[in-house]
Homo-oligomer: A and B are copies of this chain.
Amino acid sequence: MSSPIRVCLAGGGRAGQVHANSLTYHLPGGQLSVLVEQNSEVRATVAGKFGVGECFASLEDALERAHFDAVVITTPTSTHRHLAVLAAAHGKHILCEKPMALTLFECDEMIAAAEKHGVILQLGFMRRFDPDFEAAAARIAAGEIGRPMLIKSLTHGPGLPPQWARDLQTSNGMLAEVNSHDWDATRWLAGSNPRRVYVEVANFKGEARGIDTPDFYDTALAQIKFESGAIASITGVCPCDYGYDSRVEIVGEQGIIQIGDLRGQAVVVCTNRNQGLITPIYRTWPERFAEAYVREMRGFLECIRTGAKPRAGGEDGRWAVAGVLAGTRSFLEERPVELAEVLGEAPEVKV
């Protein structure tokens, strides 16, 4: 085995720790060498937990003073553009968490920077690395169910997102922060780009939880018409409380495929015949996609080693952002929105 790829983690939050865990405990091929985290307390905790040698408050500092090959960006969405462009300029490969950015213009800048400096830009769509999703996608690609006609994808997350992640001004809200994976998965599985979007949202739990963020919603149903003619729905519920739920169902001309399951363990218990059987559910996304996260990082390390194109790259991240923007406009203006409308508004970026 060649020496491990040295990785700098930017962002010590929950997603950051998932990646830190993969690198530290599961992947001999990568090494978590550097941590960038603004919050000194979080920085110390995470560094201690994963034995990270070098820690900095900013990527700028890290780039100046430490040696590493790649950056994993897990900070809030609004910072992605800056960090990615900076990393690219220093020749560092990038694994960027979803959503890619807040605007298409930002996405374009990130894509252009990676291209210009010849670095890998991989997007954090780990579902593409989940064994269930991967197997199903392969069957669809092999034509087993014919052309996809109808796709339903859902992500229901148990807990209330942080303030910034539920405010349309700072994050594009739930459609972006929770459902980015669905925007990517439906497009990936449809094998086609979205053409038109219609979204309804609802706010059932906000009041009881004291949320006064304008336009807050906890329930969303997005409808997508693809270039291929296929129709998809995306549903988001957050906080859904009952568990972490992520499933997809695809009807094709010759059949149906379901991906994922409510149950989270091959254990069934019954101790009360009036209640019935009990089966554990996935409680959180790190549980549900534990294996996918490790495989995603392994894929990233392999792309660095071999120069291969990542499974999910900048273009994929950009399409998800475009869907979010069209969808948000749809529910705000109560009308279907053509993707062309959103795509046409992005000013050009020069490489």
Interface residues of A, Cβ cutoff 8 Å to B: 1, 24-29, 51, 131-132, 135-136, 139, 144-145, 147, 149-150, 152, 156, 158, 196, 198, 200-205, 218-221, 223, 225, 229-233, 235, 237, 240-245, 251, 253-281, 283, 291, 298, 334-336
Q: How far is the CB of A3 from chain B (nearest CB, A)?
A: 12
Within the assembled complex, what's the spacing in Å between the Cα atoms of A150 and B203? 11
Which chain B residue shows the least CB distance to A4? Answer: B28
* A230, B204: Cα distance in complex, Å: 9
Please indicate which of the listed interface residues A132, A147, A242 has the most CB atoms of chain B within 10 Å of its own CB.
Answer: A242
Interface contact B265-A277, CB-CB below 8 Å: no
Q: Could you tell me if B254 and A230 are in contact, using CB atoms closer than 8 angstroms?
A: no
A281 and B271 contacting across the interface, CB-CB below 8 Å? no
Q: Which residue of B lies closest to A279 (CB)?
A: B277
* Interfacial chain B residues near A241, Cβ < 8 Å: 253-255, 273
Complex CA–CA separation, A136 to B276 (angstroms)? 14
Q: B267 contacts A242, CB within 8 Å?
A: no
Specify which of B219, B232, B262, B265 is in contact with A231 (CB 8 Å cutoff): B219
Shortest distance in angstroms between A91's beta carbon and chain B's nearest beta carbon?
25
**Can you list 26 A-B pairs with a CB-CB distance of less than 8 A?**
A24-B28, A27-B28, A135-B265, A136-B269, A144-B269, A144-B271, A198-B223, A200-B231, A202-B229, A233-B235, A235-B251, A242-B256, A243-B270, A256-B262, A256-B271, A257-B267, A258-B262, A258-B268, A259-B266, A262-B277, A264-B276, A273-B283, A274-B283, A276-B279, A276-B281, A336-B336
In whole angstroms, how far apart are the Cα atoms of A28 and B135 in the complex? 27
Residue of A136, A253, A298 with most partner-chain B CB within 10 A? A253
**The residue from B131, B196, B335 contacting A336, defined by CB atoms under 8 A apart:** B335
